Amino acid sequence: MKYTTLPNTDIKVSKICLGSMTWGNQNTEAEGHKQMDYAIDQGVNFIDTAELYPVPATAEISGRTSKIIGTWLKKTNNRDKVIIASKIAGTGDYTAHIRTTGFSPASIKEAIDLELKRLQTDYIDLYQLHWPERDTNRFGVRNFKLDTKWEDNFNDILHSLDNEIKAGRIRNIGLSNENSWGTMRYLEESKSHNLPRVATIQNAYSMLTRTFETDIAEVALRENVGLLAYSPMGFGVLSGKYVNGTAADNARLKLFPRFARYSGEKASEAAKRYLKIAEDNNMTLAQMSLAFVNQQPFVTSTIIGATNLEQLKENIDSINVTLSDAVLEQIDEVHEAMPNPAP
């Protein structure tokens, strides 16, 4: 395994982060425990969850993923061996069953209270804001419309998080699904008012979704905010199983067609082209896809997800794959021809 540090901290994390959002829905508690056992044995020390998980989010199963991590932590006594990241749910129709009060001081306190109980721990290493509270561009929305109802509350949010850090309940903070303006505003407030500084931003990034490179990558590099790249395989499309017709009946996009942005006609065609590059260079598409993300200079850790141990082994092994300049040029040629087919 390879390691790095969360920006502006002394916390060492593996370059591969174990994602967990299938646990409690597609995966059982026992399967989640086996995945954590295997990942730890391979040197992975970074696990990401959220109060919203598992996904797709429903009131009946909300928080179940973190409970599975909690029972594993209690069973193995491994809390000191892992870095735990979690998130407070932002606003949206898919989070209304959790709360509708956004990132108010009471909401942040309540969210951390409940998550600590689920995780059976007394602190969270990295606590992230899951989506901006304001209504802004998300998941394929290209045309920006100003949210005139939202009032600037960056300072208030950072003060609330500062109180939680001082209380020892969280150690560091991060963002998720945020854009460049929001990221810079948090950094500005931190610098101007001596408030906690954002360490990371968790956004989608893969060969099918390279919109992070348009401008926020510069923010990440110049301001030292590390990307925690999620969906690096585009919900499994970049494993090749959908274009090859080998996806099992319990594959995510078969079970949950609402995530079709990764399986549209353009994304499927791009995946076919990337598959040929991988095959021509004696790699699996999954490992090429993950190695591409791992090698980006703005990526702190790549969040992988798997529904079985065979997939997990292949994904973790991607840390040993280094793409040549020639392969990277071929990948860029496809990207130039078909940019961001799953934005």
Give whole-number Cα distances, 120 to 113, 116, 248, 296, in Å: 11, 6, 34, 34
Beta-carbon neighbour count of residue 318 at 10 Å?
24
- Asked whether the beta carbons of 237 and 208 are under 8 A apart, the reply is yes
Beta-carbon neighbour count of residue 211 at 10 Å?
19
- Asked whether the beta carbons of 18 and 47 are under 8 A apart, the reply is yes
Helix (H, G, I), strand (E, B) or coil at 334: helix
State the catalytic residue, choosing from 3, 53, 205, 274: 53
Query: How many Cα neighbours within 13 Å face the side chain of 227?
Result: 31
- Asked whether the beta carbons of 80 and 12 are under 8 A apart, the reply is no
Helix (H, G, I), strand (E, B) or coil at 326: helix
Nearest to 39 by CA among 314, 233, 239, 241: 314
178: left (phi over 0), alpha (psi -120 to 50) or beta: beta
Let me know if 230 is a catalytic residue. Answer: no
Residues 6+ apart with CB under 8 A from 319: 1, 2, 15, 16, 294
Longest dimension (CA), the chain: 55
- Asked whether the beta carbons of 252 and 317 are under 8 A apart, the reply is no
Q: Which residues are catalytic?
A: 53
